[in-house]
Amino acid sequence: MPAISEKGKMIPASPIRKLAPYAEEAKRKGRKVYHLNIGQPDIPTPKVALDAVRNMDLTIVEYSHSAGNESYRRKLAEYYRNIDINVDHNELMITTGGSEAITFAMMICFNPDDEIIISEPLYANYNGFAVSTGIKIKPVTSTIENGFALPPMDEFEKRITPKTKGILICNPSNPTGYLYSHDELEKLRDIVKKHDLYLFSDEVYREFCYDGKEHISAMHLNGIEQNVVMIDSISKRYSSCGVRIGAMVTKNKEIMDSAMKFAQARLCPPGLGQIVGEAALDTPDEYFKEVYNEYIDRRNYMVEALNKMEGVKCPMPGGAFYTITHLPVDDADKFAQWLLSDFEYQNSTVMLAPASGFYATPGLGKQEVRIAYVLKKDDLKKAMKALEEALKAYPGRTAL
């Protein structure tokens, strides 16, 4: 039997999805599983987006342009210009989710064994994208003690080698919910400019910034216009995760020209998804106001509930809809599995994402989990009560 590739051996399992068999077994036993492990909001997709599919009069779903339908790209460029990101439709490409946008950018801007610096905890799939494209992540660790703020700039400087070609940020952050300040982004800009690095900025949670804080795009940073590649997606903004439509945006023409060749090799982004994405741009402001208020309510309730539990520490997220939370357990991976296989409270349990998979440094996150507050408040209340009881009953609970 032939052996699989080294990449096949190295690609990490998703910490978000790897416990799915245990959740399925719990459901077969008749238990209610509250999914706080995955960023799948229960917020309805905008009606205007769904109606575009329901009412389409296509007789055939054809290939689109490899960069995406021009009508969509023009409309999306207008959306960006309305938030002071000055691009035209030739400076963006529609991709199959934000995941493809990141993968394209990595393949275009990096050679195998080149290095990219990322603040951890990081979006778990960055680890997988790096393995797939052959590049190496050099992590800079942020900590729960200061709410996962961006580490000092000298920590970034220490990790720069001749192999370093870029920095990747997620703003607001998945998995921590941290929102980068203007000062932090200016300092990053200075490092990028000093060392002539690429700056990849994953901005899919742009609309989810709380407490009066403002989102600053990497595209707003002066002096590094040719260095920035912005990653975007409709998955969270319009609660359309399964549509699989994203975008890669950059002022760098050489990157866009190379991206077109990769795009042509995969033919085109999803046709029906582009219909949804284009129509979603007409979503009324009232939708976002309701969603914003809903997430604020969920966040405030959940963070308070978590911090009331003995031994639990949960910072207040400034954006997105996630938090990395410290639990008084010996091993969060074991605890998350135990929740599904051995525990139930009033015939229910909770599915969490162990945080070890959100670090690139082995051994970190052992007592942490990522929690997504994507369920309505009544469900969150039941999930928090089940989690509280589970922490009392878990055999591997650590001493305070």
What would the pLDDT profile of 299-314 be if each residue is shown by its tens digit?
999 999 999 999 999 9
| Average pLDDT value for residue range 367-382 | 97
**Tens of pLDDT along 100-159?**
999 999 999 999 999 999 999 999 999 999 999 999 999 999 999 999 999 999 999 999
3-state secondary structure of 151: coil
| Average pLDDT value for residue range 84-89 | 98
First and final CA of the chain: distance in angstroms?
51
- The CATH 3.40.640.10 domain(s) of the chain lie at 47-280
- What's the confidence (pLDDT) of residue 13? 86
CA distances from 395 to 75, 209, 223 (A): 55, 38, 55
- What's the confidence (pLDDT) of residue 247? 98
Helix axes 332-341, 20-28, angle to 10 degrees: 20
- Tell me which architecture the domain covering 6-44+286-393 has in CATH: Alpha-Beta Complex (3.90)
Q: Closest Cα to residue 195, out of 150, 251, 156, 221?
A: 156
Q: Which two tokens stand for residue 249?
A: 């945006």
- pLDDT surpassing 90 at residue 15: no
**Tens of pLDDT along 237-280?**
999 999 999 999 999 999 999 999 999 999 999 999 999 999 99
- What's the confidence (pLDDT) of residue 395? 96
Q: CATH for 47-280, among 3.20.20.70, 3.40.640.10, 2.130.10.10, 3.10.129.10?
A: 3.40.640.10
- What's the confidence (pLDDT) of residue 256? 98
Helix axes 97-109, 125-133, angle to 10 degrees: 40
- The CATH 3.90.1150.10 domain(s) of the chain lie at 6-44+286-393
- pLDDT surpassing 80 at residue 400: no
- pLDDT surpassing 90 at residue 171: yes
Stretch among 10-24, 195-209, 249-263 having the lowest mean pLDDT = 10-24
> For the residues of 196-216, what is the DSSP string, one character each?
T-EEEEE-TTTT-B-TT----
> For the residues of 339-390, what is the DSSP string, one character each?
HHHT--BTTEEEE-EEGGGG-SSTTTTTTEEEEE--S-HHHHHHHHHHHHHH
Mean pLDDT score across all residues of the chain: 97
Q: Closest Cα to residue 85, out of 259, 230, 257, 279?
A: 230
Beta strand 198-202 with 164-170: parallel, antiparallel or unpaired?
parallel
N residues, the chain: 400
Beta carbons of 204 and 249 less than 8 angstroms apart: no
3-state secondary structure of 86: coil
| Average pLDDT value for residue range 361-365 | 96
